[in-house]
Structure 1
Amino acid sequence: MKRKKNKKKFNSNSISPILMLLPSTLMLIVCSIYPFIWIFRYVTYNYNGFTATYTGSANFTRMLSDKQFWGSVGTTFEYAALKLIFIIPLALFVAVLLNMKMRGSGLFRGVIFMPTIISTSISGMIFTFLFATKNGILNAYLQNLHIISQPIKWLTSPNVIMAAVTILAVWGGLGNYMLYFSTGMNGISEDCYESAKIDGANAFQTFFYVTLPMLAPVLKTVLMLAITSAFKDYEAIMVLSKGGPGNRSMVMFLYIYNVIFGSGNGSQQQIGYGALLSVVAALIVGVVTIIYLFIARKLDHITE
């Protein structure tokens, strides 16, 4: 009798979590697992959305010799490096300033966070007007301040386009990472700062010896999120520069988008080849993430 009672209790306790997990599990299968399996299905096919022709290893051979794709991979690494170099220190700096309980800090926090809720396509359109060569607002301000004598070709010069793309990326993502850092600093006990003040530490010493070490777990997570998001960025770049000029700002996922859906200049959809490139791009992002996690773990062991 006791065994039956325990069995009934086990079953009743297990139904509730199963029912709660069921919707999210179904969404995961429908929205993530099934599309991933669907992509693998067409890796060895020439598929344009209507007819699928088996090509064997032709897509793999083409991928290995596709200079434009591998060029976009290199551009993606360059873009990711530029974005991380500027956005992480700047977000940390802004978070530290706003955490000083200054007057109006809540308003400034809201203003800085606002770009993150704007659609990336809209952001790209806004910066298209800002970076325009002839009637652009940025060039007008720089000329009025006598910083430049001639308008800068932000969107048409291969030497400047990556700077424009990086400015857009930093503007759009700064508030998000600033919020992560602010939340992490709110979790640091005030006793730590009081102890540092009693020991005679100044603001810089408090930051480097108290705030930064205690913010290390948050910083590690933020860096991982920033790396993965930087490698997957393409929407705002597509609107801002369309990957130009001369493919100078053609990042990896924008190139894959053009291959799958056509670049808009009459080229045919190449879903089969795009599926293969998507798998390769996912592997590249996965390898970069694994390398970062490995390095972060090693650094944790060294600092312990």
Structure 2
Amino acid sequence: MSKKGKKVWERVYNERTSYLMLLPNIIMFAVFTVYPILWALRYMLFDYRGYGEAKFVGMDNFVRVFTRDPVFWDSVVNTFVYVGGKLILTLPIAFMLAFLLSKSTRINAVSQSIIFTPTIMSSAVMALIFYLLFNTYNGEINRFLMWLGVIDENINWLGVQHAMLTVIILAVWGGVGNYMVYFIAGLTGISTDVYESAKLDGANGAQTLFRITIPLLAPVLKMILMLALVISFMDMQSIMVLTEGGPMGKTNVMFLYIYQLFFPISAGSTVTQEFGYGAAVSLVAACIIGLITGLYLFIGSKLDKVTGE
């Protein structure tokens, strides 16, 4: 064995405790991440429905994605609508809550805990709660709006016209607490000396917010936006429970459609079980998310150069 090889083995032996502690995570990663990816890469070139013999079809699955599957591209449009609506509402609300509750007081701590609670709840439980709240005939939302005199008749919140709005509201309710915590961490990292200097210079609240707080929070905001973007594109659990992608596919997002190709979620589903085609669609969806993420990072790097960060 060469000297370089001996040094490597000596290093592994000396750090064997660390490697043994990492071994369970490595095994789990290999079994539940690496193996499924390799499995999908294999079957995306086959017509395979989970039983019988897999029939090699070459690139036909990808041709079908781009030319013969309008349902998938409708789900892509739905995904962008969902992600856009969620981010436009969630991040400003989370920032405002963080700005108001960032001071370390008892009432702020209690408020933070209450707002953060939906984040640790199961997606299925949240969806069931929203189903009861937004039920057309006996939901509390319709009752409350009628009591206020805002509406004269019940609104079908889970119908074609309002279903996407309902799932976006659910996403905001479930995610705003998480991003609030991130914003609070960023706000507490800003030195109080900066605010004291601004106060001595005569800066008012609005000037302090827009010229000091937000610029200094930019690195944290960039990280939060990146995280929110990726997570939002992969959302599907709560939508699956609340609407199953309906009605008429109005809330069917990319990863829910992929899930349906592998595991049709209801007996009346129009999507049939197709493992091979589902693997091909998964790769296309991953490329779309990768493209959006890469574009975001590119724009972010350009803005950093312009601002001199």
Pick the TM interval, shorter chain: over 0.9
| Matched residue, 2:80 | 77
Structure 2: where are the runs of 5+ without partners? none
Partner of 1:63: 65
Shift of 1:26: 2.8
Q: CA deviation at 1:54?
A: 1.9
Distance in 1 between the 2:239 and 2:272 partners? 22
Contact 1:43-1:275 at 8 Å conserved across structures: yes
> Distance in 1 between the 2:115 and 2:140 partners?
20
Q: TM-score, normalised by structure 2?
A: 0.91
CA contact (8 A) 1:262 1:270 kept: no
1:21, CA displacement in angstroms? 3.7
* d(CA) in 1 for partners of 2:253, 2:103: 38
Alpha-carbon contact 1:95-1:178 (below 8 Å) kept: yes
Aligned counterparts of 1:190 and 1:242: Cα–Cα separation in 2:
48
- Taking only aligned residues, the RMSD between alpha carbons, in angstroms, comes to 1.9
Task: Give distance in 2, aligned partners of 1:68 and 1:272.
Answer: 17
Opposite residue 288 of structure 2, the aligned amino acid is: I
- Per mean C-alpha deviation after superposition, the further-off stretch among 99-108 and 19-28 is 19-28
Counterpart of 2:48?
47
User: Is the aligned partner of 1:250 residue 2:252?
Assistant: yes
Q: Decide whether the 8 Å contact of 2:158 with 2:247 is kept in 1.
A: yes
Tell me which residue corresponds to 1:264: 266
What letter matches 1:87 in structure 2?
T
Q: CA deviation at 1:12?
A: 5.1
1:266-286 Cα shifts (integer Å, max 9, x gaps): 664211111111111111111
Number of residue pairs the alignment of both structures matches: 299
CA distance in 2, matches of 1:119, 1:113: 13
1:209 matched to 2:246? The reply is: no
Task: Give the Cα–Cα distance (whole angstroms) in 2 for the partners of residues 93 and 207 of structure 1.
Answer: 11
User: Please, which of 278, 286, 295 is the counterpart of residue 299 of structure 2?
Assistant: 295
Task: State the shift of 1:63 in Å.
Answer: 1.2
Paired letter, 2:279 = A
Given candidates 167, 172, 175, the residue that maps to 1:173 is 175
CA–CA distance in structure 2, aligned partners of residues 10 and 154 of structure 1: 61
Distance 1:43 1:177 in 2: 36
State the Cα deviation string for residues 134-177 of structure 1 (Å, max 9, x = none). Answer: 10100000000001111111001x22111111100000000000
2:94 aligns with one of 91, 94, 107? 91
Shift >6 Å, 4+ stretches: none
Distance in 2 (alpha carbons) for counterparts of 1:15 and 1:172: 41
Instruction: Identify which range, 24-33 or 168-177, moves more after superposition.
Output: 24-33
Does residue 133 in structure 1 map to residue 136 in structure 2? yes
